[in-house]
Amino acid sequence: MSRWMSGGNGALALIAALFLASGALRIGGAGLALAEGGAAAPPSGPAAACTPDAGGLAMLAAARDRAAELDRREALVADREAAARAALAEVEQRLAELQAAEDRLARTVSLADEAAEKDIARLVTVYENMKPKDAAPLFAEMAPEFAAGFLARMRPDAAAAILAGLDPKRAYTVSAVLAGRNSGAPRN
């Protein structure tokens, strides 16, 4: 290393030398271009630095086209995103409406079930309070499953008195339905 490159000034001197070499190459390159190109002199000053070649213009046009395409795609994605947000909001609104309708329906079904249960309980009470000889003919006319449903809700003594008043075959059929009503239920 030479003396002028040692110490703190060495790096600055190296950079200055590189700048000088770069300038010399550029000047030498301009001289070669004049020698190869003929008599026409290239533009000088700021115009020489800003004149693009055909390849540069093509790249610039391609970059602009690509930027325009990207802008178009970005707008399309933004439109799709807005449509998706709108659709999601509509779906959420409809789900809320469906949930509200389901809640209303559940309340209505619950009221209907309660009313039906009250009606059946009232009928059970009526049949329990009837004389067995008067209730037995009614149970003889009922479908066995229907009769078994009422008898299962009645007090055992009232149900026994009504079954005793039925024809033996009919009483057996109703008893079999009563016995088999919960046969499929799990036993744990």
Which whole-number Å values give the CA distances from 90 to 96, 97, 155, in the listed order?
Answer: 10, 10, 55
C-alpha 174/C-alpha 157 separation (Å) is 16
Structural domain spans, the chain: 1-51, 130-182
Q: Are residues 151 and 162 in contact, defined by beta-carbon separation less than 8 angstroms?
A: yes
The pLDDT of residue 8 is 59
pLDDT digits over 82-123, tens only?
A: 999 999 999 999 999 999 999 999 999 999 999 999 999 999
The pLDDT of residue 149 is 92
Which whole-number Å values give the CA distances from 157 to 13, 101, 127, 130, 151, in the listed order?
Answer: 121, 45, 12, 12, 10
Nearest CA to 159 among 168, 173, 145, 149? 149
Confidence band of 1 (pLDDT split at 50, 70, 90): very low
Spell out the alpha helix ranges (H) of 51-143.
54-129, 132-141
User: What six digits make up the tokens of 20?
Assistant: 């000088």
SS3 33: helix
